[in-house]
Structure 1
């Protein structure tokens, strides 16, 4: 099987990390692969470091003729058997390239967004395009939103998120974060790692924090990430007079080192396809309080591997966070169960094998 993986994304999030997991795992099987992505991104940087067979193009539009031409060139010159598409704009570009240049290479789309696609004719049409043989969704929550627009629902399947236990092998705090922030040993650190965008719902986190500090005064909320709403959240923190309880770290590349320093991971996202960062919390042995929304309940087993709260309900988040922080035995039980859940369902090896199986089904059907 000769595979082209393609994304037009400019960001570095869980999905882009999963592309790296797939490429490495498939390469270990001896598969011929090509990656087409945008330049000057973290994904491109990693591809260069690992000596992937990689092509890049700046992304301007999902109707960019240069991208369509490049896809056609790679498909023909590399004798590609199958295309694995990783974002919606790349999906459009592949479909239009196929129509424009006449290639018939089967396509598989790995869908990770909870978003309707039946809102206009073209979007619905491209998801039912005959050359798109399978739509692999990251969770049942993604399928539930996507399914009404899909005529042949047998093309839908699930392959979840993954994390790398070699990268996230640290499970005990060393104290470096407390030292760096000038915190005492008895200060509780509640962490959150998420882009500052609307659906991550940092607003609920801040309102929950206002309640938590009433019960646990020696607490600091450490937020890692960047995004368009960061200044808004900082302003809300100041308005709630919580500035001394919050630290904004910005974008970090040292997440595997950062995670074990948290006493608890608080994840208030209200529209999460799967919550891959929760797997990193499992790997780092950090107890979780998260939202009962989207694909999160497919990752966090309520009461067994973590606690789930009603979305946009800061009181629920605050109460469960305080309860968990006051019960060490409960924390240890959730952490142990969470780590085993990760080993069984969400390691990069397990997930890459599941995706390989889906690709192989399409490849054999094409033969």
Structure 2
């Protein structure tokens, strides 16, 4: 198949999943055409069967804001004709799904199918705003196929946009478990001294991630267990996080590492992953941690209970339950036998339920059904 993938190239779940899906499909012999304003950050080298098409937005004094959606529509339309695409797979509803729909309409008469994958904030945040709600509903309804990355998000989409349950199929996120596994670092990471434990958090540092809770949970854990906190990522709440660390006198205990292209070495030396988000539509980073045998202490909101099994691969608590999360973290870090069991359970769950081979096959079958119908 010839598949056009429209996604954001930035550091975030939807772009990561879209890129990894394209890479896995290319290994199966499909021709993959990525369409975005920059190369996806996980597309760092040449891959056979993968092509990138940059959307270049012209500057014109009449336009107060760059007309990205229109230029994106035109680029998708060109590729439908020039590359004879079978499928346009839009990741994130706005503007990708709408632009892809318009491109398909312009190219009437072709057999190209439009699939939209919902990733979370395109439904719960952007899609919920009155200025976007109607076009989000239209884009979803006009798609030939719609997938959501968790049962929780699927139900959110059905409820918010009054969709038929048959319209939306849940296909979980995935990772390559041959790549994501606990590895011995090529060079020692100088993060701890002696027997200190490493607690890690990775995110885009936005409000929904509850970064202050991450720091407060660590502060409570550190009073009982000698440890360091590693914060990976960047975003609008990084400055306030740094301020809170200073206020709690934790500056010598917390590392701000910024964005990291390769998080496997960091996960491979970590003992506990904190994800106390207000809501996660799936929690891809929790999956990555579990694959590297890192137990997860997280919120029991959104799609996280579909990833983390409470009392088996980690612990789940209500968002904001800082003391309970800290208690659970301490229990894991102080009980070596329990920690080892959770670590093994975590790896086993990812391999048996969220491996690339299994989930990518689901996507291929879904594509084929749409093309046959």
TM-score, scaled relative to structure 1: 0.90
Question: Higher mean Cα deviation, 155-164 or 62-71?
Answer: 62-71
CA distance 1:3–1:31, shift in 2 (3 Å)? same
Query: CA RMSD, aligned part only?
Result: 2.2
Q: Distance in 2 between matches of 1:275 and 1:61?
A: 32
2:60 counterpart residue number: none
Whether the 8 Å contact between 1:27 and 1:33 is mirrored in structure 2 is: yes
1:146 counterpart residue number: 157
1:236 counterpart residue number: 244
CA distance 1:121–1:13, shift in 2 (3 Å)? closer
Whether the 8 Å contact between 1:223 and 1:249 is mirrored in structure 2 is: yes
2:113 counterpart residue number: 106
CA distance 1:75–1:108, shift in 2 (3 Å)? same
Q: Distance in 1 between matches of 2:199 and 2:71?
A: 46
Q: Distance in 1 between matches of 2:4 and 2:276?
A: 35
Matching of residue 168 in structure 1 with residue 196 in structure 2:
no
Counterpart selection for 1:121 from 126, 130, 134: 134
2:195 counterpart residue number: 186
Cα deviations across residues 309-331 of structure 1 (Å, max 9, x unaligned)?
21112111111111111111111
Deviation at 1:173, TM superposition (A): 6.6
User: Which structure 1 residue ranges, 5 or more long, are not aligned?
Assistant: none
Matching of residue 86 in structure 1 with residue 94 in structure 2:
no
1:4 counterpart residue number: 4
Counterpart selection for 1:72 from 72, 77, 82: 77
Q: Distance in 2 between matches of 1:107 and 1:271?
A: 28
1:95 counterpart residue number: 101
TM-score, scaled relative to structure 2: 0.89
Matches within 5 A, 1:1-367: 1-7=1-7, 9-39=8-38, 41-43=40-42, 45-46=44-45, 48=46, 52-58=50-56, 64-88=69-93, 89-102=95-108, 105-114=112-121, 115-116=123-124, 117=127, 119=130, 120-129=133-142, 132-148=143-159, 149-171=161-183, 176-177=188-189, 180-181=190-191, 183-216=192-225, 218-365=226-373
Deviation at 1:174, TM superposition (A): 7.6
Q: Distance in 1 between matches of 2:109 and 2:236?
A: 39
Q: Distance in 2 between matches of 1:68 and 1:352?
A: 27
| Secondary structure of 1:241's aligned partner | coil
